Amino acid sequence: MIGKERLARIRRRSCRMPAFRPCLLAAALVALLLVGSFSPAVAGNPHSAFYSSSNDRIFWFIHASDIHVGAVGSTDSTNLQWLVTTAKNTISPSFIVVTGDMTDSSNGGLFPIGGPYQAEWNEYRSIVDANVTSSTYYDIPGNHEAYNDQYFAYYLANSVQGRATGGTQHSWTRNLWFGEYHFLGVNTADNTGRSFSIFPPYYGDHAGLDSTELAFITSELQAHPNAVLTLVFGHHPLAATGDALDTYIYYGRDEFVSLMSGNGASLYGYGHTHDSSESFYTQGMTEGVFYFNVSALGKDSPNQYTVTAIDCNGIASVTQNVSSWPVVLITAPMDRYLGGIVNPYTYSIPNSSANPIRALVFDTAAVSQVQYRIDTAGSWYPMQRTATNNPNYPHLWEAAWNASALASGEHTIEVQATGSTVRTDSIKVNVLATATGDFTGDCDVDGSDLAILIATPSLLDLATFAQNFGKSVCP
């Protein structure tokens, strides 16, 4: 029999340590539900990346730009042909996005004047129409499509997406079993049909987004409130690059940036500069977006493209020269750095004995070996094809890395693939002695981890999670 006094003691204890955890958990759940009920829906959550051994929550795409078909002295058509045949067949991307300047609008002349030229577009179409469809290839306009063509008549009549949609801006999704991912291609090119000019500041390229274009962007972001991630593409940089010759978005930028920020966009990918870079754009944003610039595929050197992967909602990217193999991209864990700055959307990783490492490897030749090592020294350890367990991912390699002996702090992971040549990708990660259930890697198990667990219950059993809830192991 339990006496009245003991019963009262039990009741009093019911909301104290350690029995208070379920209480806290329930409170967190309720809070989460309330927040979910009253917050305005946003289109994406850049913080949704998590570190997991799940090897089937991954997809990837190719970002190319500035093909410039018709430019004198360049390998534009050859490189485009390579992109939509060899690269597409070898990399098997979910889609290819081309951020403008498909044609040069010079047709072999000295300047991009006198165009647009249908001959250039016919050349472009002869390559793309035989190899891609409007559900796998997204070509958006650049300044070379806008010269002398206020209404983008040539773009609309000849580009893959112009013909498919009748518009100059495009919105598409990938609905996968692990969530909806939303992609948006915006038309940053000038809308006045100005001619090319040699005079600064605009050079005939008064780039920007007008009210109609912004309205489309707004409505498409609002139409995908359940998107896990939202990635946006345009031709121009958002701001001055430091090179006086680079035009950028002159009007509508603040509204556009605010829309990306307010709707949780993760990435803005662009071309135009004929340079490649990875950085983070924060001006006018609450947190910021990955700011990825890809070099020209068809004009100037080096001719490059980017492979971007989304693995457990973490974004990874590698830039590669045309026709160079293999492509090696570490997709998990996420890189701690972006162009030298700490990536705010990455996670720290635990010093567990079986940390997953995953990498995509693409090659036209057979890949004989993929291996990894830690901190640029010591032994290389073999990685296995995920295809052994999951035939849907023949290009994905994985390994379980024993990080238990590592001290907390920054460590380097290298993955080296042997195929046509030997190539290595390298990332830095922050290792923390942390608790199971810390999916966000912020060194405690809290409501944000609970949100991830609710979205993905298979990550961890609830009992283990509840046991660790509230634990904090930050140094």
Partner 1 sequence: MTRRTIICMFLALLLVLSTGIFSMCQAQGGGSSHNERGWGYFKKGFYEYAPHNKHQEANQYYEMAIVEFKKAIAVNEGDVAAHQNLARVYHVQQKYALSAAEYKRVTELSPEDVDAYLNLADAYYRLHRYGEAIEQLELAKTKTTDPVAIGKLNGYIEKLEKAR
Residues in contact with partner 1, counted by CB under 8 A, come to a total of 24
- The answer to whether residue 149 forms part of the interface with partner 1 (CB under 8 A) is yes
**Cα(257)–Cα(268) distance, integer angstroms:** 10
**Cα(166)–Cα(473) distance, integer angstroms:** 54
Tell me whether residue 244 or residue 422 sits nearer to partner 1 (CB atom). 244
In angstroms, give the least distance from the CB of 187 to partner 1: 17
Q: Which residues contact 365 (CB under 8 A, 6 or more apart)?
A: 325, 326, 419, 420
Tell me whether residue 121 or residue 256 sits nearer to partner 1 (CB atom). 121
Tell me whether residue 112 or residue 271 sits nearer to partner 1 (CB atom). 112
Tell me whether residue 36 or residue 201 sits nearer to partner 1 (CB atom). 201
In angstroms, give the least distance from the CB of 193 to partner 1: 10
In angstroms, give the least distance from the CB of 55 to partner 1: 47
> 307 - beta bridge partners?
62, 318
Tell me whether residue 195 or residue 353 sits nearer to partner 1 (CB atom). 195
**Cα(439)–Cα(47) distance, integer angstroms:** 11
Among positions 42, 156, 228, 357, the unique one binding partner 1 when judged by CB under 8 A = 156
Stretch that binds partner 1, among 30-38, 150-158, 357-365, 382-390 (CB under 8 A): 150-158
Q: Which of residues 104-123 bind partner 1 (CB under 8 A)?
A: 108-111, 113-114, 116, 118, 121-122
End-to-end CA distance of the chain: 47
Q: 97: which 2 tokens? A: 């996005």
Stretch that binds partner 1, among 152-160, 276-284, 345-353, 420-428 (CB under 8 A): 152-160
Tell me whether residue 156 or residue 294 sits nearer to partner 1 (CB atom). 156
Among positions 244, 354, 365, 454, the unique one binding partner 1 when judged by CB under 8 A = 244
Q: Which of residues 194-233 bind partner 1 (CB under 8 A)?
A: 195, 197-200
In angstroms, give the least distance from the CB of 296 to partner 1: 16
Q: Which residues contact 178 (CB under 8 A, 6 or more apart)?
A: 56, 57, 228, 456
Among positions 151, 210, 339, 368, the unique one binding partner 1 when judged by CB under 8 A = 151
- The answer to whether residue 71 forms part of the interface with partner 1 (CB under 8 A) is no
- The answer to whether residue 158 forms part of the interface with partner 1 (CB under 8 A) is yes
Tell me whether residue 182 or residue 194 sits nearer to partner 1 (CB atom). 194
In angstroms, give the least distance from the CB of 252 to partner 1: 25
For residue 78, which amino acid is it?
T
Tell me whether residue 122 or residue 376 sits nearer to partner 1 (CB atom). 122
Tell me whether residue 154 or residue 181 sits nearer to partner 1 (CB atom). 154
Tell me whether residue 206 or residue 428 sits nearer to partner 1 (CB atom). 206
* CA proximity to 116, closest of 79, 141, 153: 153
In angstroms, give the least distance from the CB of 199 to partner 1: 5
Tell me whether residue 149 or residue 335 sits nearer to partner 1 (CB atom). 149
Q: Cα–Cα–Cα angle for 149, 151, 155, nearest 5°?
A: 75
- The answer to whether residue 301 forms part of the interface with partner 1 (CB under 8 A) is no
Q: Are 417 and 384 in contact (CB under 8 A)?
A: no
**Cα(69)–Cα(80) distance, integer angstroms:** 8
Task: Calculate helix-pair angle for 447-455, 21-38, nearest 10 degrees.
Answer: 70
Show the site string, 245-284: x = touches partner 1 by CB under 8 A, - = not: x---------------------------------------
Q: Which residues contact 55 (CB under 8 A, 6 or more apart)?
A: 356, 358, 386, 389, 390, 393, 396, 398
How do 58-64 and 96-99 pair as beta strands? Answer: parallel
DSSP string, 431-447: EE---TT-TT-SSB--H
Q: Which residues contact 213 (CB under 8 A, 6 or more apart)?
A: 168, 169, 186, 187, 191, 252
Helix (H, G, I), strand (E, B) or coil at 320: strand
Listed in sequence order, the DSSP H helices in 103-252 are: 118-128, 143-146, 153-158, 160-165, 211-222
In angstroms, give the least distance from the CB of 303 to partner 1: 19
Tell me whether residue 161 or residue 346 sits nearer to partner 1 (CB atom). 161
Q: Annotate 115-136 with b (16+ C-beta within 10 A) or e (fewer).
A: bbbeebbebbbebbeebbebeb
**Cα(234)–Cα(214) distance, integer angstroms:** 13
Cis before 475? omega within 30: no
For residue 272, which amino acid is it?
H
- The answer to whether residue 124 forms part of the interface with partner 1 (CB under 8 A) is no
Binding site residues, partner 1, CB under 8 A: 108-111, 113-114, 116, 118, 121-122, 149, 151, 153-154, 156-158, 195, 197-200, 244-245
